[in-house]
Amino acid sequence: MGRKTENSTTTTTITDQTNLDPKRTNNISQLPVILYNEEGCPIHSPGSGAPVAEFLKTSGASIEQNIVGSLGTPVEFFLEPIKKDTVTKADDAINGSDIILEITLLTIELIDTSMGSADYGGIAGGLANGVRLEIRSGDLATGTLLFDMLDGQPVGQNFDWGFHAGTFQVIDQGSGDDAIIVKMAFMDKLGNPLRLKTNGYNGTPDRISIAIQDDLTALTRQRAKISGHWYYD
């Protein structure tokens, strides 16, 4: 059984060490600590909190990435945390409280026919400019690049996704469209979940961003989705 310590603003719950993985927890300082705000919502508590599963979208709310982009005019699909009402937990970008979005997994779905390793989907020979994956503050036009997750090497061929992401599954249907499922688990890639804040760099929201810089209309489908949790900051 855990024990609780209380003060006027927060309650701290400490989980018994017997419930933890002994390979990862060797002393009391490593025990997970869950903090609650006055509304009873978890804050700064990796692995708990309100779940999130959302697609990356354009500013016009489209999730379909088989569109026309170019090097000079890339199309951005992104997700950034939005302030939440402390009572209803609903989005409230104007009057809500700051939150942290903790992303544990990015999944990319690519569907097309005749997908070779040197192609992009079924686009023979791959892409001229490639797909970018970045952490940014603000949009592509006026914002700031915080972290290039591909280290300056945009994804131009199918197997590039496997190299960058770590988990890459090809589903061959035999006839018709095949699928590539890419999974980037941030605990494996970075050693921690990816944390985005509403009150991020220079006071603006952080965002995870995919930029399309080629004509992908020949693809049957490409989409990207994140999974994780959010907490009050």
- Residue 42's pLDDT is 45
| Confidence check: pLDDT of 86 > 50 | yes
| Confidence check: pLDDT of 15 > 80 | no
Taking residues 33-59, what's their average pLDDT?
65
Higher local confidence (pLDDT), 188 or 61: 61
How is the chain split into domains, by residue range?
1-36, 52-232
- Residue 45's pLDDT is 47
- Residue 31's pLDDT is 34
In whole numbers, what is the pLDDT of the chain averaged over residues?
83
For residue 100, give both structure tokens. Answer: 């942290």
Is-contact 69 62, C-beta < 8 A? no
Taking residues 120-148, what's their average pLDDT?
95
| Confidence check: pLDDT of 9 > 80 | no
Percentage above 90 pLDDT, the chain: 64
